[in-house]
Amino acid sequence: MWHDIRTLNIITRAMLGVLVLCLLFAGYRWLSLQPFFDLRVVKVQGVNGVPLRYVDAATVRSAALPRMRGNFFTADLGAVRAAFETVPWVQRASVRREWPNKLIVSVDEYEVLGTWGEQDDRLLSVDGYLFTANIDEAESEGRLPQLAGPENSAHEVAERLIDLRVWLAPVKLAPQTLTLSKRYAWTAKLNNGVTLKLGRVQDRDALKRRIDRFVLAYPRLSAQLAGRIESVDMRYPNGLAYRMRGQPPVSTPAVREEDAA
């Protein structure tokens, strides 16, 4: 073998390659331990340049920095991201390095839709996620709709609230509360004080048909009974029933659907 020039060349190149790799690794280790690369700047910003509304950058940094380990080279970006996502109002965070000692954290805030259930600090986002944050901050520009339903229904309740806002817009009404019962019955209280009973409806189109009937009938009811309607019951196949304040309900159809709850 020692007389085989080709084999000796291969062995020599392999040994040189290993030596170069060892030197590179040693250089990287030495470089990564230098204080120059300690993380000195953590910049917190909104995704795509959108200004942060609820997340205070200083608060986020103070909450997340104690959980961070390592420097520019050794910091675990996944762990850093997870630390930032524990901060209230932060739905998602992405982290990237910026040479030589900076981290850029892009924060996507929750967009609040309403309060949820009976707990004081639970909120529902527009995309149906439950999260915990300061209610006073969330309601700084006005009272939020109150929403409730079974624990696994948050996403659907969020979608239906958004639907109801659109469907009721022609009569300039909007839900102040929306509740989905355990029997899957929908009830909404509108911003004019009227309680709207929609019944057990699992199909979005069927729910829309009930709202459409209410929207069609509401102008006449409002003109005749302005300010005196307590509730409107839409759990009928071809009509509705309404209750005036302090009086028993008045029904327009003869038969109510069996899905009343």
Cis status, amide bond into 66, omega within 30 of 0: no
Measured CA to CA, the distance from residue 207 to residue 70 in angstroms comes to: 54
Q: Given a cut of 90, is residue 86 above it in pLDDT?
A: no
Mean pLDDT of 41-68: 80
Cβ–Cβ under 8 Å, residues 20 and 12? no
- In tens, the pLDDT along 91-144 reads 999 989 888 878 888 999 999 999 998 766 799 999 999 999 989 999 988 999
Within 8 A by CB and 6+ apart from 236, the residues are 251, 252, 253, 255, 256, 257
Q: Given a cut of 90, is residue 68 above it in pLDDT?
A: no
Cβ–Cβ under 8 Å, residues 90 and 109? yes
- In tens, the pLDDT along 171-220 reads 999 999 999 999 999 999 999 999 999 999 989 999 999 999 999 999 99
Question: Residues in the chain, how many?
Answer: 261
Token pair 């009721």 is at which residue? 168
Measured CA to CA, the distance from residue 75 to residue 65 in angstroms comes to: 12
- DSSP, collapsed to helix, strand or coil, labels residue 204 as helix
Structure tokens at 122: 């639970």
CA atoms within 13 A on the CB side of 30: 6
What band does 225 get if pLDDT is binned at 50, 70 and 90? confident
| Residues of the chain above pLDDT 90, percent | 43
The pLDDT score that the predictor gives to residue 258 is: 44
Vertex 245, ends 239 and 246: CA angle to 5°? 115
Rounded to a whole number, what is the distance in angstroms from the first to the last CA of the chain? 92
Structure tokens at 62: 């103070």
- DSSP, collapsed to helix, strand or coil, labels residue 185 as strand
Q: Given a cut of 70, is residue 8 above it in pLDDT?
A: no
Measured CA to CA, the distance from residue 196 to residue 181 in angstroms comes to: 14
Q: Given a cut of 90, is residue 146 above it in pLDDT?
A: yes
